[in-house]
Structure 1
Amino acid sequence: MNIRENLQPILRALESRNYRLFFFGQGLSLVGTWMTQTATIWLVYQLTGSALLLGVVGFAQQIPNFVLSPFAGVLVDRWNRRRTLVITQVLSMIQSLALAALAFSGHIQVWHIIVLSLFQGCINAFDMPTRQTFVVELVERRENLSNAIALNSSLFSGARLVGPAIAGLVIAAVGTSTCFLIDGVSYIAVIAGLLAMRVRPRQVLQAQAAGSMLKKLKEGFQYAFGFPPIRSILLLIALVSLVGMPYTVLVPIFATNILKGGPETLGFLMAASGLGALISAVYLSSRSTIVGLGKLIAIAPGVFGVALIVFSQSRVLWLSLLAMFVLGGSLILQSTSSNTILQTIVEEDKRGRVMSLYTIAFISMATFGNLFAGTLSSRIGAPTTLVFGGIACIAGSLYFGRQLPALRKLVLPIYDRIGLLEPHP
C-alpha cells in the first residue's frame, strides 16, 4: 500500500483512460524508434566512416520540421488531432518497414537513408506538434497536465534508455536490419491505442478556422515572440539544440575512435544519457506544482554545457558514461520544464502554433546544428566541436538567469488566474 501511495502522485495523470492508452502505446513505439535512431547512425558510420555524412543524415531528418512545422501548427489548431496522429503513425510504420526491407536486401546505400530520413522528417513536422497539443485533450483534470507532460518525458527517456541498449545488443548479434523491423512492428501498439480512445469532439472556434494560412502564421509568431516569457524560453531551447544537441550524432565517433569500442559501447553511451533523462523526468513527475520550474530552466543548460565539455575530453568509458548521464538529465530538465510552462501559459486557440515553434526550437534547430557539427568535426575534430558547444550553452544559461526575475513577474499572474498558486492567507 505504501508503494502505491508513493507512486500515486507520480502517476496521477494515468487516472485518465485515454491518457493511459496513449502512454502505454507510445511506450512500446518509442522503444522501437530509439532502436532505429541508434541503428541508423551506426549503419551510416559503418558505411561511410564520415562525420560529415552523420551530420547530413541528421540534417535530413530534421530540415522538414524547420520548414513545415509553422504551417503544421496552424493546421493542428484546426484539425482533429487523434485522426492526424493515426495517419502520421501509419506513415511512420511504412517508413520503418521500407528501411528494414532495404537493409535486409543488402543493397541499402546512404542515399536511401537520406531520402527515408527526409520522409520521416515530413511526417514528424505534423506528428510532433499534434502529439504535444493532444495531451491536453487526454487529461481530464487541468491540474494533472504538468504531470502528464512530465510522464511523457519519462516515457521518452525510458525508451531512450532501453531502446539504444537493446539496439546495441541486436546490432552486435544480427545486424541493423532487425532494429528497423522491430520499430516498424512497434507502431501497431500506438495505432491500436489511438483507435481505442473515446475522445470528445474538440470545439474549433470560428476565429481559429477563419483567416488565411499566412495570416494565422503571422499571428502565432507575433503572439509567441511578443510575450517575453515564451520568447525567452524558445530562444534558450533553440540555442541548446543548435550547439549542444548535435552530440547525439557524433557519439559513434567517440564510441569507436576515442573509446575504442563497438556497437555495445554506443548502446551503453546512449543508454546512460537515457537513464539520466529518465531520472530527471521522474523527478519532474513527482513535483506537485509548476512553480519553480523557471529556475530549473535557467540552471539546466549550464550543467549541460559543463557535461558536454567533460564528455568531449574524456578518454575513459566510466567518465564518458557519467557525462552522458548528466547530459541526458539536464536536457530533460530544461526541455520538459519549458514544455510544461508553455502549455500552461499559452492561450488555447494558439496552442498548436506555439507548440510548433517549440518543436522547431527543440528539434528542428538541431537540424542546422547536426550539419554544422558534422562539417566542423571533419575539420577540427569532434572533441573541439563539443567544447565550443558547451561554452555557448553555459553562456545562454547565465543570460537567461539574469532575465528570470522579470519573466517571473509576467508569468505568476497567469498561474494565479488559472488557480495554480496557493491561496493567499
Structure 2
Amino acid sequence: MRITDSFPALEHRNFRLFWLGQMVSLIGTWMQNIGQGWLVLELTNSSFLLGLISAVQFLPMMLFSLFAGVIVDRFPKRKLILFTQSSFAVTSFILATLTALKVINYWEILILALINGFLNTIDVPARQSFIIDLVGKKDLMNAIALNSAVFNAARIIGPAIAGILIGKLGYAICFYLNSASFIAVIIGLILITVEGVTPKLKDAKTRIIEDLKDGMTYIKNMPVILHTILMIAVLSTFSMNFNVLVPVFTKNVLHREATGYGLLMSAMGIGALIGALTLASISKRGVKPVYLFAGGIGLGLFQILIGIQNSYTLTAFLLALSGWFMVTFTSSANTTIQINSADEFRGRVMSVYSLVFGGVTPIGSMYAGTLSQRFGPHITFIVSGVIAMAYSFYVLSRYRKIFSA
C-alpha cells in the first residue's frame, strides 16, 4: 500500500513542495512562539502583558482581514505568500539579534508582534485559499488535514527543542533558527508552477468596497458557511487561548519552568497530530458535520477537566486530548467552508475565516489574560470549556435547518 493511497494530496507535486517547506518553517515558528511567550513572562511576570502581546499580534487581522480578502482574490497568491514569508524571516532575525545583544525590551517585542500581525493578515487567507489551487476540490480535505498534521508535528518538535535550547543557550537561538527556517518554504514557493489566480487589476481602486460587499452578501446567503464561521468565531475567542493560558498555568499552578512548558505544548501537539492524521486517513468519506460538532464539544470538555485538577502528568494528557479535538474541529470547519465556496469568492470567504479564526485573538487573548489575572487559569479553563460546549450544542440543535438549507 502506497502512502498516497491514504494521503492522495501528496500525489500533487505543487502541494508536496508547499507542504515540505511548511514542515520546516513551522518547527521554527513554534520555537519562536515558545521562546517569545516565556521571554515576555520573564521580562514582565504578567499574564495580562503576555495576553496583550498576543492581542496586538492579531489586531491587524481583526481590523483589516476583510480588505485582505479582496487583495487575495485580485493578485497571484504564490507571490503574496512569497512576500509575507520573506518578511517573517526578517522580523525573526531582528528579534533574535536584539535578544542576543541583551537589549530587548517588552515594547520592542510588542512592535515586532504588530508587524507580524499585518503580514499575517495577508498571509493566512492567501495560504488557506491557495491549497485548493494545488490539489483541487477532490483532495482538499486530505490536504487541509495534512497541513494540520504538519502544523501539529511542528507543535511537538518545536516546543521540545525550544525548551531545551532556552535552558542551555538562551532565547536568541530559537529566534535565529526560526528566521533560517523560512528559507525552506521560500524555495518551495519558487519551485511551485501555479500562481493561484489570474490578477484582476481592472477597476482595482473603485471596486474594493463593492467586492467586499459582494463577499459579505454571499456568505450571508450561504447558511452552512455562515454558521460554521460563527461557530469558529465563538470557539476561537473563548476556547483557543492556549498560548496565553498554558504558560501561566505551567508557572503559577504546576510550578514548572520553560522546559516543562515546552513539553506540555508538545503533548498538545501530539494529540493534535494524531487527530489530524486520523482525519486525513478518513477524508475519502467526505466532509461530515459530526466531525465539526464532536471537535467543538470535545475541546470544551477537556478544557473543563484541565481546570479542575493540578497534576502535571494529567495536564499533559488532557492537553493532548484537547489538541486532538481542536484540530478535528478546525480542519472540519475549514474544509466545510472551502468545499461550499464558489471559486470567485474563496479569497473573501477565507479572509472572513481568518478574521474569526485569528482576528478575534486580540479579544480572546485579553479575555484569557484578564480573567486569568483576576481569577486564575483554573477558572479561565473551566469558563472557556463551558462556552465551547454550550455553543457547539446550540449549533447542533439547529443542525437540520442549517445544513439542509
User: Is TM-score (shorter-chain normalized) higher than 0.5?
Assistant: yes
Supply the distance in 2 between the matched residues of 1:89 and 1:289 (Cα, whole angstroms).
31
2:273 aligns with 278
1:243 aligns with 238
> Which amino acid is the alignment partner of residue 82 of structure 2?
V
Name the SS of the counterpart of 1:142 in structure 2: coil
> Which amino acid is the alignment partner of residue 113 of structure 1?
I
Q: Tell me, yes or no, if structure 1 residue 147 matches structure 2 residue 142.
A: yes
Q: Do 1:31 and 1:163's aligned partners in 2 also have CA atoms closer than 8 Å?
A: yes
Alignment partner of 2:326 out of 310, 331, 334? 331
TM-superposition CA deviations, 1:110-137 (whole Å, max 9, x none): 1011000000000000000000111122
Change (3 A) 1:212 1:250: same
Alignment partner of 2:45 out of 45, 49, 63? 49
Q: What pairs up with 1:181-220 in 2 under 5 angstroms?
A: 181-199=176-194, 202-203=197-198, 212-220=207-215
Gaps of 5+ in 1: 411-425
Change (3 A) 1:290 1:177: same
Q: Tell me, yes or no, if structure 1 residue 394 matches structure 2 residue 372.
A: no
Q: Do 1:302 and 1:397's aligned partners in 2 also have CA atoms closer than 8 Å?
A: yes
1:422 aligns with none
Q: Tell me, yes or no, if structure 1 residue 409 matches structure 2 residue 386.
A: no
Give the length in aligned residue pairs: 405
Deviation at 1:350, TM superposition (A): 0.4
Q: Do 1:146 and 1:290's aligned partners in 2 also have CA atoms closer than 8 Å?
A: no
Q: Tell me, yes or no, if structure 1 residue 67 matches structure 2 residue 59.
A: no
1:379 aligns with 374
Q: Do 2:235 and 2:388's aligned partners in 1 also have CA atoms closer than 8 Å?
A: yes
1:92 aligns with 88
2:119 aligns with 123
TM-superposition CA deviations, 1:386-414 (whole Å, max 9, x none): 2111111110110111122223323xxxx
TM-superposition CA deviations, 1:335-382 (whole Å, max 9, x none): 100111111110110000000111111111122110121112211112
Gaps of 5+ in 2: none
Supply the distance in 1 between the matched residues of 2:203 and 2:191 (Cα, whole angstroms).
28
Change (3 A) 1:222 1:269: same
1:174 aligns with 169
Alignment partner of 2:353 out of 352, 358, 363? 358
Supply the distance in 1 between the matched residues of 2:198 and 2:43 (Cα, whole angstroms).
50
Q: Do 1:295 and 1:404's aligned partners in 2 also have CA atoms closer than 8 Å?
A: no
Supply the distance in 1 between the matched residues of 2:388 and 2:345 (Cα, whole angstroms).
29
Supply the distance in 2 between the matched residues of 1:104 and 1:179 (Cα, whole angstroms).
11
TM-score (norm 2): 0.96
1:82 aligns with 78
> Which amino acid is the alignment partner of residue 365 of structure 1?
V
CA RMSD of aligned residues (A): 1.7
Deviation at 1:165, TM superposition (A): 1.1
Deviation at 1:309, TM superposition (A): 1.2
Change (3 A) 1:238 1:105: same
Supply the distance in 2 between the matched residues of 1:149 and 1:291 (Cα, whole angstroms).
13
Supply the distance in 2 between the matched residues of 1:58 and 1:215 (Cα, whole angstroms).
32
Supply the distance in 2 between the matched residues of 1:8 and 1:326 (Cα, whole angstroms).
27
Deviation at 1:200, TM superposition (A): 5.8
> Which amino acid is the alignment partner of residue 253 of structure 2?
I
Supply the distance in 1 between the matched residues of 2:340 and 2:310 (Cα, whole angstroms).
44
Supply the distance in 2 between the matched residues of 1:52 and 1:225 (Cα, whole angstroms).
36
> Mean Cα displacement is larger for which, 192-201 or 173-182?
192-201
> Which amino acid is the alignment partner of residue 91 of structure 2?
Q
1:307 aligns with 302
1:37 aligns with 33
Deviation at 1:202, TM superposition (A): 3.2
Q: Do 1:241 and 1:363's aligned partners in 2 also have CA atoms closer than 8 Å?
A: yes
TM-superposition CA deviations, 1:134-158 (whole Å, max 9, x none): 112212x531122111111111111
Deviation at 1:181, TM superposition (A): 0.4
> Which amino acid is the alignment partner of residue 85 of structure 2?
Q
* Percent identity over paired residues: 36
Deviation at 1:207, TM superposition (A): 9.1
2:23 aligns with 27
Supply the distance in 1 between the matched residues of 2:132 and 2:77 (Cα, whole angstroms).
11
